[in-house]
């Protein structure tokens, strides 16, 4: 299937993984967009890049009218949970208003829209969760992402929502760390770390999330899909696996509960996803967490 695929947030972790996955795909014409300068210019000089601030309706309409994509994957978002709690106007603008602009433009031009959402729309009382689970967010980030989902679901055009959980990975010129690198680097430095053992997630390798989004777009799938790994783990269990892989001192890892930390935003205790629908309908097959650690090790140790 030939398509013109526009990616929002191409400088972010997921956006970069999508470009890496698809830049040589013979049936795909990529249009990478982001608010800041193109971080991928040196890596993929042949990939078309267009500046785009998705919070501007004028820019969204102008770029989509100009580029005429057949498919759009919306990865741009404000995802720092505590920052969203403290800066609600900015969070709403980036997560909800921007989505409203994209939904309207995609519907007008009959563009297939894949919108990326989160497990944080749920209360965390009953994970792992299937697509039909009833949302009940416990923080403002979750509220904003749920509001965005409702806009997408009301669209007159073709749409899909890809929800995901605790995405980890590494990217080019990307300032944020992830649980694998944080645990590895802390233990290598001989630092004692406290890691929660009462929150449960199905951690998602960024490459797997990119693959899941592409499977949705490629197949013109519609509806909601849960894309993550199938392993329900606590961060403490993840940290132990990281230490084990790199041969580091596990006695430096202290098991604690979430009440140890004071954070502006509440976190749902138990989410994680049931991914059987994506496996069955899309052919989605994620890596295990152990395989994800090994992949990150190859990417970061050789860098």
At 91-140, the pLDDT tens digits run 999 999 999 999 999 999 999 999 999 999 999 999 999 999 999 999 99
Distance CA 53, CA 112 (A): 20
Which residues on adjacent β-strands are paired with residue 116? 162
User: What are the b/e assignments for 247-270, b being 16+ CB within 10 Å?
Assistant: ebeeebbebbeeeeeeeebbbbbb
pLDDT for 234-253, tens place per residue? 999 999 999 999 999 999 99
Q: Establish if 11 belongs to a structural domain.
A: yes
Q: In which region does residue 249 sit, left (phi positive, over 0), alpha (psi from -120 to 50) or beta (all else)?
A: beta
Q: Establish if 185 belongs to a structural domain.
A: no
The number of distinct structural domains making up the chain is 1
pLDDT for 39-57, tens place per residue? 999 999 999 999 999 999 9
Residue whose C-alpha is closest to residue 120's, from 145, 85, 153 = 145
Contact 106, 252 (CB under 8 A): no
Q: Establish if 194 belongs to a structural domain.
A: no
Q: Establish if 63 belongs to a structural domain.
A: yes
Q: Establish if 259 belongs to a structural domain.
A: no
CATH code of 65's domain: 3.40.50.720
Q: Establish if 303 belongs to a structural domain.
A: no
Q: Establish if 281 belongs to a structural domain.
A: yes
Q: What is the mean pLDDT of the chain?
A: 97
Domain that holds residue 101: 3-170+203-230+266-287
Both tokens of residue 41? 């210019």
Residue 18 host element (H or E): helix 13-22
Kindly tell me if the per-residue pLDDT of 303 is higher than 60: no
What is this structure's pTM?
Answer: 0.98
Contact 105, 66 (CB under 8 A): no
pLDDT for 137-175, tens place per residue? 999 999 999 999 999 999 999 999 999 999 999 999 988
Q: Establish if 108 belongs to a structural domain.
A: yes
């Amino acid at each position: 299937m030939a398509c013109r695929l526009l990616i929002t947030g191409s400088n972010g972790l997921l956006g970069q993984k999508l470009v890496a996955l698809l830049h040589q795909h013979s049936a795909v014409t990529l249009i990478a967009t982001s608010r800041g300068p193109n971080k991928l210019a040196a890596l993929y000089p042949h990939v078309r890049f267009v500046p785009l601030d998705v919070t501007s309706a004028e820019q969204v309409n102008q770029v989509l009218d100009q580029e005429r994509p057949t498919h759009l994957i919306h990865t741009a978002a404000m995802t720092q949970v505590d920052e969203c709690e403290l800066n609600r106007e900015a969070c709403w603008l980036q997560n909800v208003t921007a989505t409203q602009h994209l939904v309207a433009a995609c519907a007008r031009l009959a563009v297939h829209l894949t919108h990326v959402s989160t497990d944080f729309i749920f209360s965390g009382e009953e994970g792992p969760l299937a697509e039909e689970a009833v949302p009940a967010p416990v923080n403002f980030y979750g509220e904003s992402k749920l509001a965005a989902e409702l806009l997408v679901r009301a669209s007159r055009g073709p749409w899909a929502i890809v929800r995901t959980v605790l995405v980890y990975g590494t990217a080019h010129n990307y300032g944020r760390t992830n649980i694998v690198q944080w645990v590895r680097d802390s233990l290598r430095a001989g630092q004692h770390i406290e890691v929660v053992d009462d929150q449960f997630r199905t951690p998602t390798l960024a490459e797997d999330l990119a693959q899941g989004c592409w499977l949705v777009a490629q197949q013109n799938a519609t509806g909601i899909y849960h894309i993550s790994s199938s392993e329900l783990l606590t961060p403490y269990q993840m940290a132990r696996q990281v230490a084990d892989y790199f041969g580091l001192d596990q006695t430096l890892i202290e098991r604690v509960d979430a009440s140890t930390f004071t954070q502006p935003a509440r976190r749902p205790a138990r989410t994680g996803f049931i991914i059987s629908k994506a496996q069955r309908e899309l052919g989605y097959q994620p890596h295990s967490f152990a395989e994800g650690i090994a992949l990150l090790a190859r990417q970061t140790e050789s860098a």
